[in-house]
Structure 1
Amino acid sequence: MISKAKRQGIWGLWAIFWPLILIFIYYNFPVSAPIDYPTVFSFVLLGIIVALFPITLNNTPVFLVNSVSLATFLIFGLGVEMIVTQIAILTVIFRLKINKNDIFRIPLNLLMFSIISLLGAIVYYLFEDMYFLGRTDLLGIFGYAVIVFVANQALLKIIQISLYNRKVKIFDEGFYFSLMMNVYMIPIALILVYMYEAFGVAGIYVVGIPIISVSISIKMYYASKTINVYLQSANQIAQKLTGHLNRSDVVDTYLTDLPEIFTISCVAVYDVQDQNNVQLIRSYEKESGIVNKQVNISLNNQSVLVEARDSDQMISVSTGKGWKDRVPEHLREMGESLVATPVKRNQEIVSIIVLVAKQKHAFDGNLLVILKVLNNYLGIALENAKHYEESQAEGLTDHLTGLPNFRFIEQTIATIRNQQQQAWMSDIAATVEEQIEASQSCSLILLDLDRFKKVNDTYGHECGNEVLQKLANRMKDFIGDRGCVARYGGEEFLVFLPNSIHQEGLQIAEDLRLIIAGEPFCCVNHMDADREKVDIHLTASLGIASYPDHCDDPMELVRLADRTMYVGAKHNGRNKVSAYQV
Structure 2
Amino acid sequence: MVITKRQKYIIFIIWLFVLPSGLLLAYNLFPALKIDWLNLAVLFALLVVTMTMPLKLNNMSVSLERWITFTAFFQYGVFVELLFTQIAMFILLFTRKSDLPPMYRFCVNSLIFTLVSLVSGAFFHYAGGVIGTSDFMNLILFGLLYAISYSVINSAIMQLYLYFETGMLTVKEKYIVWDFAVTMLLFPFSIALYFLSDLFGNKAILLIGIPFLLVLLIVRRYNQSNNMNDKLYSASIIGHELADRIGFEDVIRTFIKELKNVVPYESAYVLDLRAGEHLITLMGSEDGILTKDISGLSFNPKKSEDDGLNMDRPKIYSTKKEASELKHFKFTGQLGSIMTAPIKRNQKTEGFLILTSKQKNGFQALEMKIVDVLTGYFAISLVKARYYEKTVEQSERCGLTKLHNFRYLDAKLDEEIIRFHTGEITALTLLMMDIDHFKVINDTYGHQCGNDLLVALAKLLETFVPEEATLARFGGEEFVIALPNYNKNETVRLAEKIRKEVAFSAFRIKPDLTEKREPIDVHMTVSIGVASVPEDSGDAKELLRNADRALYIGGKQAGRNRVGVYGKEYVETL
Structure 2 residue aligned with 1:542: 527
Structure 1 residue aligned with 2:498: 508
How big is each residue's C-alpha offset from its partner over 1:42-86, in whole Å with a ceiling of 9 and x where there is no partner?
Answer: 000001111111235688642111111222222222222222222
1:482-501 matches, within 5 Å, as 482-483=464-465, 486-490=472-476, 492-495=478-481, 501=491
1:41-440 matches, within 5 Å, as 41-55=41-55, 61-96=61-96, 101-128=101-128, 135-164=137-166, 168-172=170-174, 174-259=175-260, 262-273=263-274, 277-286=278-287, 289-292=290-293, 297-298=301-302, 301-305=305-309, 308-309=310-311, 312-324=312-324, 326-399=326-399, 402-410=402-410
Structure 2 residue aligned with 1:566: 552
**Offset at residue 394 of structure 1 (A):** 1.3
Alpha-carbon distance in 2 for matches of 1:324, 1:274: 26
Classify 1:414/1:249 alpha carbon distance in 2 versus 1 (closer, same or farther; 3 Å). farther
Alpha-carbon distance in 1 for matches of 2:119, 2:561: 98
Classify 1:267/1:99 alpha carbon distance in 2 versus 1 (closer, same or farther; 3 Å). closer
Alpha-carbon distance in 2 for matches of 1:317, 1:298: 22
Structure 2 residue aligned with 1:447: 434
Matched to 1:194, the amino acid is F
**Offset at residue 232 of structure 1 (A):** 5.0
**Offset at residue 442 of structure 1 (A):** 6.4
Classify 1:538/1:82 alpha carbon distance in 2 versus 1 (closer, same or farther; 3 Å). closer
Alpha-carbon distance in 2 for matches of 1:45, 1:374: 41
Contact 2:238 2:258 in 1 (8 A): yes
**Offset at residue 104 of structure 1 (A):** 0.9
Matched to 1:8, the amino acid is Y
Matched to 1:265, the amino acid is E
State the aligned residue count.
Answer: 551
Structure 2 residue aligned with 1:428: none
**Offset at residue 353 of structure 1 (A):** 1.6
Which range moved further: 565-574 or 199-208? 565-574
Matched to 1:191, the amino acid is A
**Offset at residue 403 of structure 1 (A):** 4.3
Matched to 1:361, the amino acid is N
Matched to 1:176, the amino acid is V
Alpha-carbon distance in 2 for matches of 1:99, 1:541: 65
Structure 2 residue aligned with 1:430: none
Classify 1:519/1:361 alpha carbon distance in 2 versus 1 (closer, same or farther; 3 Å). closer
Matched to 1:560, the amino acid is N
Alpha-carbon distance in 2 for matches of 1:297, 1:399: 32
Classify 1:481/1:224 alpha carbon distance in 2 versus 1 (closer, same or farther; 3 Å). farther
SS in 2 for 1:208: helix
Contact 1:237 1:257 in 2 (8 A): yes
Alpha-carbon distance in 1 for matches of 2:159, 2:314: 38
Matched to 2:163, the amino acid is I
How big is each residue's C-alpha offset from its partner over 1:271-306, in whole Å with a ceiling of 9 and x where there is no partner?
Answer: 32466652334332106641436975345554222x
Contact 1:51 1:89 in 2 (8 A): no
Normalising by structure 2, we get a TM-score of: 0.81
**Offset at residue 512 of structure 1 (A):** 3.8
Alpha-carbon distance in 2 for matches of 1:368, 1:451: 63
Structure 2 residue aligned with 1:432: none
Matched to 1:445, the amino acid is M
Contact 2:67 2:189 in 1 (8 A): yes
SS in 2 for 1:135: helix
Contact 2:71 2:191 in 1 (8 A): yes
How big is each residue's C-alpha offset from its partner over 1:87-136, in whole Å with a ceiling of 9 and x where there is no partner?
Answer: 22211222236678232111221222222222232222234369999733
How big is each residue's C-alpha offset from its partner over 1:142-189, in whole Å with a ceiling of 9 and x where there is no partner?
Answer: 1111111111222222233333567744531x3333333222223212
Structure 1 residue aligned with 2:572: none
Matched to 2:239, the amino acid is A
Contact 1:337 1:357 in 2 (8 A): yes
Contact 1:47 1:88 in 2 (8 A): yes
Classify 1:502/1:63 alpha carbon distance in 2 versus 1 (closer, same or farther; 3 Å). same
**Offset at residue 191 of structure 1 (A):** 1.6
SS in 2 for 1:543: strand
Structure 1 residue aligned with 2:565: 579
Contact 2:397 2:403 in 1 (8 A): yes
Normalising by structure 1, we get a TM-score of: 0.80
Contact 1:569 1:577 in 2 (8 A): yes
Classify 1:318/1:574 alpha carbon distance in 2 versus 1 (closer, same or farther; 3 Å). same
Contact 1:266 1:284 in 2 (8 A): yes
Contact 2:499 2:525 in 1 (8 A): no
Contact 1:444 1:557 in 2 (8 A): no
**Offset at residue 363 of structure 1 (A):** 1.1
SS in 2 for 1:446: strand
RMSD: 4.2
Structure 2 residue aligned with 1:429: none
**Offset at residue 448 of structure 1 (A):** 6.5
SS in 2 for 1:270: strand
Structure 2 residue aligned with 1:433: none
**Offset at residue 411 of structure 1 (A):** 5.7
How big is each residue's C-alpha offset from its partner over 1:452-491, in whole Å with a ceiling of 9 and x where there is no partner?
Answer: 5x999x99xxx99657534422422443432375332355
Alpha-carbon distance in 2 for matches of 1:561, 1:339: 58
Alpha-carbon distance in 2 for matches of 1:39, 1:100: 35
**Offset at residue 376 of structure 1 (A):** 0.9
Identical aligned residues as a percent: 23
Matched to 1:39, the amino acid is N
SS in 2 for 1:103: helix
How big is each residue's C-alpha offset from its partner over 1:404-441, in whole Å with a ceiling of 9 and x where there is no partner?
Answer: 3113334666787899999x87xxxxxxxxxx9xx798
